[in-house]
Amino acid sequence: MPAPVNPFKKGLREGRRQIGLWSQIGSPTAIEMIAGSGFDFIGIDAEHGPSDLVTVYAQLQAIAAGGPSHPLVRLPSCDPVLVKQYLDIGVQTLVFPQVESAEQAAAIVASTRYPPKGVRGYCGAPRASGFGRIKDYPFTAEAEICIIVQPESMKAVDSLEAVAAIDGIDGFFFGPGDLSADMGLLHGATRPEVVEVLIAAARRIKATGKSAGTICGDEALTRRYIEAGFDIVAVGSDQGVLVRGADDLAAKFR
């Protein structure tokens, strides 16, 4: 039996845009609720949110129960030890922050591959293999692992084609907040200058045959990104939905 099919990666390969919701709360209960909303993916944020390996494990279980959304996990760093652990608990799509060079991208890919192709440590019966029930997992896992890197600086933008040329890199997911800060426009993710850089960069990525993505909470701007050809689009966050909903409700009665 081979490793489970990654529907997110399959969708991108078939040219189907993936629309998702970012999850910053770190709650399995919240994840279970939103997993049934119809998003293609839920992005679990272990970089800026409170999630860690143990709580992500619980969130994976919650998504499996609430479904059918696919879980992406943004790691706190590109540490190969963390990569190994998240892969073992069943994460198939990983988002790597602050990737700026082809050398860094190659090291990331190696961290997701078993020897001799990479440096991923071997475990005989991880959750990813159904605790050993998926006998062919070690030989088929690689094909279903999706690697998304985040360009979050102008140095990273300058290196897009070199990173895209690394075999195993599936796509890019721009961090507009960090990119705006690097451009000297802190807290300026929706500034016209930043938007133009993102759209131009996405076109370059698309020309390489790889996928381009980003996150945006502004509906009009999100639709502009979609029209510009972004393949992976997080259209908001669970935290944002909760805060706005609570604020709006309170305002009605105060």
Q: Which residues are catalytic?
A: 48
Residues facing residue 147 across a β-bridge? 94
Residues facing residue 149 across a β-bridge? 96, 172
DSSP code string of the chain: -PPPP-HHHHHHHTT--EEEEEE-S--HHHHHHHHTS--SEEEEESSSSS--HHHHHHHHHHHHHH-SPEEEEE-SS--HHHHHHHHHTT--EEEESS---HHHHHHHHHHTS-TTT--PPP-SS-GGGTTTT-TTHHHHHHHH-EEEE---SHHHHHTHHHHHTSTT--EEEE-HHHHHHHTT-TT-TTSHHHHHHHHHHHHHHHHHT-EEEEE---HHHHHHHHHTT-SEEEEEEHHHHHHHHHHHHHHHH-
CA 133 to chain centre: 27
